[in-house]
Amino acid sequence: MVGGATTKELIVNGKRLDGRALDELRPIKIEASVLNKADGSAYVEWGKNKVIAGVFGPRECFPRRDVNPYRATLRCRYRMSPFATSDHGRSGPNRRSTELSKVIREAFEGVVLREQFPKTAIDVTVEVLQADGGTRCASLVAVSTALADAGIPMKDLVSAVAVGKINGKLALDLTGVEDNFGDSDIPVAITGRNKEIVLFQMDGVLLPEQISQALKMASAANEHIHALQVDALKLVYESKQAQGGARTGAASEED
Amino acid sequence: MTINILDEIKRDYVRDLAMHGGRTDGRAMDAFRPISVEPGVITSAEGSARVKLGKSQVIAGIKLGVGSPFPDRPKEGVLSTNAEFLPLASPSFESGPPSELSIELARVVDRGIRSANAVDIASLLIDEDTEGKSKVWAVYIDLYVLDHDGNLQDAAGLAAMSAILNVQMPKYEDGKLTLEEKTGPLPSQATAVSCTFGKIGNAILVDPSYEEEVSLDARITMATIPGHICACQKTGMGSFKLEEIDSCMQIALKKGDELRALLKQ
């Protein structure tokens, strides 16, 4: 976070502490259809982040006050496990997770074709099992893949990555340490084909040109992440086809 | 999800007007509503301000206390920002635990203030103690929304900043806090204010009113200090293009200077 008096050398000889270049992503692994009961699911390993998302719905919407007569109600819950960081976290919602749940939901509200399922609910849960900076972006990537895995019609897939400023330089995909000692953090979620920015947050002190530059870096990196999402979905789809259209990979293995 | 039927009916009108460059109250697309800032309205608080933005009304109160620093920030003061959407401000505000809207509003105000060091928490250490018994100032900013007519975010940000500039620090000596004795202003490195944009179709408008807010596709808030952006938050289901964010940043910097001038009076 910002405003700290603490500083740390985060770039040595042009490389970051984990050996990456400034515009390099951490290794990302995406797997779709990892849960049995959920209508769609995805697991994302992103550096040391481990995130799992599950989607239920469209299904009947309870309580009544959540019902929208024109379109499906999208509900999203982002949580971090108590064992996800070095300190034991409190379970249950907190102010941070409430805000992140909201911005993640809003990133998808305009992307999911909710008009096709009026009066229903689509429930999205994303659990951060292990955290090392950039969990909201990893969560967005997992949610997007899980929604597609559930067969819910969407205008586009959503990819996300954060750009930050460390030791005065813009850097892609900050780790937890880089975020703690960095000067700025800018998570960005962009749709794959139309390059619409559906999530954008920023802290720290930056010139407008630096923010534009950060958005361009995020946009370029998101093309790579988008391709990984497509690959993960294709893999599941092709294996389902080979097995005669069983609904989920996990279920068909048990059968 | 409560749907207000009047909002539904007005929505088409507001949207159609916006896409032709107009607004229901006749404002220019980049104009704020009239703003009034009254610092010092609550004398029981160490700092306070009431901001009226059009018919929206927010009071910020700042209380100071002495406490322990966070373990990972042992030399810094504690800053905590909270917002209450009072049930008297809008028929849609209910009493009970804080809603996600009030949490987000407080966190975005906090982000701008923290990034800009508008409350300079690095200079709020009172007693340093190597055995973990350090004493620091704790600054509690509470934002009370009294009347909701749109763009509470900027009204709250302005009220918070005005209240920060209004703070008179109490006296702390020999482990005793004397609220009645004042020792000077709260250390602050910059004046952060925010500018919120609404997007309707391809139209982008500054300071959305309530009826514009319920008609929006998406919203973006940008907090600034002179020449720099210090916090952003996109909200709502719609999206922005990169070029739109670029142009919003330029307007936010310009509007920020106008808002900062209001706080100097």
Q: What is the pLDDT of residues B156-199, one digit of tens each?
A: 999 999 999 999 999 999 889 999 999 999 999 999 999 999 99
Residue type at A32? A
Residues of B in contact with A3 (CB under 8 A): 76, 114-115, 117, 121-122
How is chain B split into domains, by residue range? 5-264
Instruction: Write the burial class of residue B86 (CB in 10 Å: 0-12 exposed, 13-18 middle, 19+ buried).
Output: middle
10-residue mean pLDDT profile of chain A (255 residues): values are: 62 94 98 98 98 97 94 97 90 93 98 98 98 98 98 98 97 96 96 96 98 98 98 94 64 45
Total count of domains within chain A: 1
Give the end-to-end CA distance of chain A in Å, rounded to a whole number: 48
DSSP A146-209: HHHHTT--BSS-EEEEEEEEETTEEEES--HHHHHH-SEEEEEEEETTT--EEEEEEEEEE-HH
- Distance of alpha carbon B255 from alpha carbon A37, whole angstroms: 51
- Distance of alpha carbon B252 from alpha carbon B88, whole angstroms: 31
> Cβ A207–B227 below 8 Å, yes or no?
yes
In which domain, by residue range, is A142 found? 18-245
- Distance of alpha carbon A196 from alpha carbon B249, whole angstroms: 17
Query: Residue A235: inside a domain, yes or no?
Result: yes
Give the global pTM. Answer: 0.94
Query: Residue A251: inside a domain, yes or no?
Result: no
Is the minimum CB–CB distance between B250 and chain A shorter than 8 Å? yes
- Distance of alpha carbon A190 from alpha carbon B174, whole angstroms: 55
Query: Residue A198: inside a domain, yes or no?
Result: yes
Is the minimum CB–CB distance between B234 and chain A shorter than 8 Å? yes
Q: What is the DSSP letter of B118?
A: S
Residue B88 reports pLDDT greater than 70:
yes
Predicted confidence (pLDDT) per residue in B49-60, tens digit: 999 999 999 999
Classify B236 in phi/psi space as left (phi over 0), alpha (psi -120 to 50) or beta.
left
Query: Residue A47: inside a domain, yes or no?
Result: yes
Residue B35 tokens read as 């703003």
User: What pLDDT is recorded for position A251?
Assistant: 47
DSSP B139-205: EEEEEEEEE-SS-HHHHHHHHHHHHHHH-EEEEEETTEEEEEEEEEEPP-S---EEEEEEEETTEEE
Query: Among B103, B238, B239, whose Cβ lies nearest the Cβ of A98?
Result: B103
> Cβ B240–A200 below 8 Å, yes or no?
yes
CATH number at residue A141: 3.30.230.70
Query: Among B122, B217, B249, whose Cβ lies nearest the Cβ of A5?
Result: B122
- List the single range of A2-6, B25-29, B63-67, B189-193 with lowest mean pLDDT: A2-6
Residues of B in contact with A199 (CB under 8 A): 234
Residue B26 reports pLDDT greater than 60:
yes
Is the minimum CB–CB distance between B251 and chain A shorter than 8 Å? no
d(CA A52, nearest CA chain B) in Å = 23
d(CA B144, nearest CA chain A) in Å = 18
Please report the residues numbered 45 through 84 in chain B whose beta carbons come closer than 8 angstroms to any beta carbon of chain A. Answer: 73, 75-76
Looking at the domain that runs over B5-264, which CATH code has it been given?
Answer: 3.30.230.70
> Cβ A2–B245 below 8 Å, yes or no?
no
User: What pLDDT is recorded for position A4?
Assistant: 44
- Distance of alpha carbon B89 from alpha carbon A39, whole angstroms: 40
Residues of B in contact with A196 (CB under 8 A): 239-241
Query: Among B117, B237, B250, whose Cβ lies nearest the Cβ of A106?
Result: B237
Query: Residue A148: inside a domain, yes or no?
Result: yes
User: What pLDDT is recorded for position B2?
Assistant: 53
**C-alpha pair distances (Å), B35 with each of A165, B26, B56, B85:** 35, 16, 10, 20
Q: Which helix (H) or strand (E) holds B262?
A: helix B242-264
